[in-house]
Amino acid sequence: MTSPDLSLDGVHVHVTGAGPPVLLVHSINAAAGAHELRPLIERLAASHTVYTPDLPGFGASERRDIAYTPRLYTDALLRVAGAIRGRHGARAFPALAVSLGCEFLARAAVEQPAVFSRLALVSPTGLMGLKARRGPSGATRAVPGLHAALTRPGWGPALFRQLTRPAVVRYFLRRTWGGEAIDETMWADAVAAARAPGAHHAPLHFLSAGLFSADVLSLYEALAQPVWASHGTRGDFTDYRGRVHLQGRSNWQWTVYEGGALPYFEHPQAFGAAFEAFLATDGPVR
């Protein structure tokens, strides 16, 4: 029997399935939300209680006009983790995150390592190029003055409406997939998500780069849990030269899938089986 959804200080957490807990964290973009994880939710619900929060500013969570920061998102994940442990006991549990969500999950796992047993990072950000991003702890890559420019009266909402027109959403999803064929249900869900009141607030912080951590490589290097990272070979998210800085770390393993940045959509069986194997064993992902 599925437990009821959670509402934690304005963060809505979708709860599906029954069994041991697993946390899934969506990416950040103009039309983000838990809908990005649908294939994994459907598969894992047969064996796990799947917790999928809509991060602050997205989905069914509050979309207030506040400062959206990595700290805000990390704290939200830690609150969700506390609620999961309240339901299932204090034992550590696994989590998966996508794209920029990986940075928030990594920070949460570094700050409270006893909470998370193992981490799956899908198309993790912060590893593009060879630059080692070991900036000051908690610093971001925000472009000075850009958020202020984006939020000038009337400008921000108008820009957001242009970026979330159905044709534009389709364009960006094709860049994510690296081809013309995308998941049509996800496209429809993304278009609908962008129509909610206040939907522009968090994405404008994203566009100003204020949600990207300047110390992301330090976070990845500090992870003590087993980490399975994966990415695709097509589209806009294929530059992972920065993984050279993580070579030799015995707790990290990588899988590269033929396709775009969301391999669980294009390879649901292979990815799902690999993730389940990662959850069930200390051995390598096959």
Q: Is residue 266 part of a domain?
A: yes
CATH of the domain at 206: 3.40.50.1820
Note whether residue 16 is domain-resident. Answer: yes
pLDDT in tens, 9-36: 999 999 999 999 999 999 999 999 999 9
What span, in angstroms and rounded, lies between the C-alpha atoms of 188 and 170? 9
Instruction: Tell me, yes or no, whether 267 lies in a domain.
Output: yes
pLDDT at 7 (0 to 100): 93
Q: Tell whether 163 is covered by a domain.
A: yes
Has residue 285 been placed in a domain? no
Q: Quote the domain boundaries for residue 77.
A: 6-280
Q: What is the pLDDT of residues 173-222, one digit of tens each?
A: 999 999 999 999 999 999 999 999 999 999 999 999 999 999 999 999 99
Q: How far apart are CA 190 and CA 35, in angstroms?
A: 8
Task: Specify if 102 maps to a domain.
Answer: yes
Spell out the alpha helix ranges (H) of the chain: 38-44, 70-88, 101-111, 146-150, 155-163, 166-177, 184-193, 201-207, 216-222, 263-266, 268-280
Instruction: Give the separation between CA 264 and CA 172, rounded to whole angstroms.
Output: 18
Q: Is residue 224 in a domain?
A: yes
| pLDDT score of 114 | 96
Note whether residue 1 is domain-resident.
Answer: no
Of 74, 19, 17, nearest to 43 by C-alpha is 17
Domains in the chain: how many in total?
A: 1
pTM for the whole structure: 0.96
